[in-house]
Amino acid sequence: QYERMLAQLAGEQRMPRTWENGALKLVPITDWTTGFFPGSLWYLFEATDDATWRDAARTYTARLEEVKRNRRTHDVGFILFCSYGNGWRLMREPAYREVLLEGAASLSTRYNPAVGGIKSWNGQKQWAFPVIVDNLMNLELLTWAARESGDLNFHNIAVTHASTTLRNHFRDDGSSYHVLNYDPETGHVLGRHTHQGAADESAWARGQAWGPYGYTMMHRET
């Protein structure tokens, strides 16, 4: 499947995201899914020790370097840690480490101490300071950066965000809200909503999965 994908991507600068209506959907590097393809290539190299996968992983990882400066989304963790994170883990190239550390610094700029959380999206006029449960998946970049750099601010932001989410995102039955809207000045919860689920009070399946993944990872990291 990945050999076919690479062949179809020849000469294309965008990244693969999914199939829609029988056609390959491609997206710019700012899309939240773009780290997954190079991350999968790194896993294939790890499993096979075949330099073909290593070289492809390097090529598609390198395309995402500019994301390290993106301060407009929480998905920097998704994009960079799947790609550069696996590349660093397997290759130990210093340039990969530097990209990850700069990306962690960019992600940290979205943290609001009054809220105790990292803002998820910009440009959502209906919400003052939206925090989505998906955001838990991006905290691993910060805990890694704390270990690598010795800057505990990264670690403290990750732990505080996870604690705030645990306190406010979950119902008594263990299901989770998708979006919490906070007052950025006081940190008070202004509302609990959904963006992709069936209704505000529903349990959106993919969002529900981010919780167990995120807290299993944070348990390990702490």
- Catalytic choice (49, 50, 55, 75): 75
Over residues 155-169, the mean pLDDT reads: 98
Whether 75 is catalytic:
yes
Q: Which residues of 15-32 are buried (b: 16+ CB within 10 A; e: fewer)?
A: bbbeeeeeeeeeeebebb
Query: How many C-beta atoms lie closer than 10 Å to residue 72's C-beta?
Result: 15
Task: Write out pLDDT tens, residues 53-94.
Answer: 999 999 999 999 999 999 999 999 999 999 999 999 999 999
Report the C-alpha gap between 44 and 142 in whole angstroms. 25
Task: Write out pLDDT tens, residues 174-203.
Answer: 999 999 999 999 999 999 999 999 999 998
Report the C-alpha gap between 44 and 57 in whole angstroms. 9
Whether 55 is catalytic:
no
- Output helix, strand, coil percentages for the chain, rounded to the nearest 5: 55, 15, 35
- Catalytic choice (49, 50, 134, 173): 134
pTM for the full predicted model: 0.95
What is the reported pLDDT for 47? Answer: 98
Report the C-alpha gap between 88 and 191 in whole angstroms. 40
Q: Which residues of 45-60 are buried (b: 16+ CB within 10 A; e: fewer)?
A: beeeeeeebbebbbeb
Report the C-alpha gap between 130 and 124 in whole angstroms. 8
**Angle, helices 139-149/94-108, rounded to nearest 10 degrees:** 120
Q: Is the predicted pLDDT of residue 123 greater than 90, yes or no?
A: no
